[in-house]
Structure 1
């Protein structure tokens, strides 16, 4: 009987060990989608994911000891991939568009958009009425122009404004550089394109729309997001992040990898 008790005890210990060995590993991975938006988010010349916001999110992931993988895909696909659970996260504006599936991070970086023009700042429109009769270039697919002109398409149809919708940022900037329109709607980061396409162009920029860029994360990934948020707070307290939510220059200069815009880019 004593021998049998020892055997049963050993069997229980082996079973208990197996159960512990099969416990799930800590959830420490995130597959994060993004889209090309230099210099904020892009594939660098060496093929690696970078950008000022991209490197900042990677920096926070490392502080949180998270295994973050970045996927750069077209904008529409990035949004669909998050909505259908094909990725764990997405770096994009906080417009409340993913509240059903996801949580937004405590980390944020403010992004502004507005009007570029060769006019003096005082003559750049601040209201819908002030732009009537003028001409405007916008990038097709951007939603921020509608915050300034909710009825932009109707105004164009009525010929109250002359509207040029183009397929990408570089085309829009090239048109603005040769004065095809009075105004160009774009983000402050469009200055990066202007510096490369038309370095001698004289212009002014008036911000008219401001929103925060955040990391949206699937609700089932709440634990990695908690670690990400904790790491963000720690880095902020250590003053490793600037007021705009990006890494301070000391770290950015070491990590940021440049994207060289092709000369033939349309």
Structure 2
């Protein structure tokens, strides 16, 4: 397989020509920069041991103090996928993908092990450990995603798992001290409905040298608004306003968070005191 051209992928990622990293280019970078959100899948099952290889990649990610405070539930049963699709806002691609992974912040394992040894586990009640578990889950999931995409699979993250965390916990039979951080659809992309690489903010908006500078982003964001307008038009996406308007509307009110404004309350009911 030929490694995709560096110049083309950099242009796709930013919507304009920026820099040419040909002298540094390799297949790993090509896989990373080729990422796109796939929401249309073929019904083909995954090849044997694909899941196990993805989990091995996930377990190769960094983990704080080697505590490994994450787990993942692999869902293939159509009825359970249907339940999770409904809980995530009726997202059809959850039903369609052959494999749906739910990535968990997992403090249940350490609670259980401490109890077995007759030791206290007060530290697990603090916000720091919840943040640690969430980061661990995110790092693991991203490794698994890269592995899947290197095998020709498509993926899309599903933050809608956080809309109704208690109902998701019931569907997956999660004991206390577990939280579904997000889901991940995995499958072979449907070539009849190709997904495009979505441009990201210019590096001038996210890359700061030595100290953070908020005002330096203004020109870059104005440029990005124009790039995204062209992208929306090319993809026939009916998006009102520019990127800034679209993004700010997602946080204008608590209700815009789609139920997640009550996340702290829900987490406490799931066994996370967040002290």
TM-score bin, normalised by smaller chain? under 0.3
* More strand by percentage: 1
The answer to which structure, 1 or 2, has the higher relative contact order (CA under 8 A, 6+ apart) is 1
* Superposition TM-score, scaled by structure 1 size: 0.23
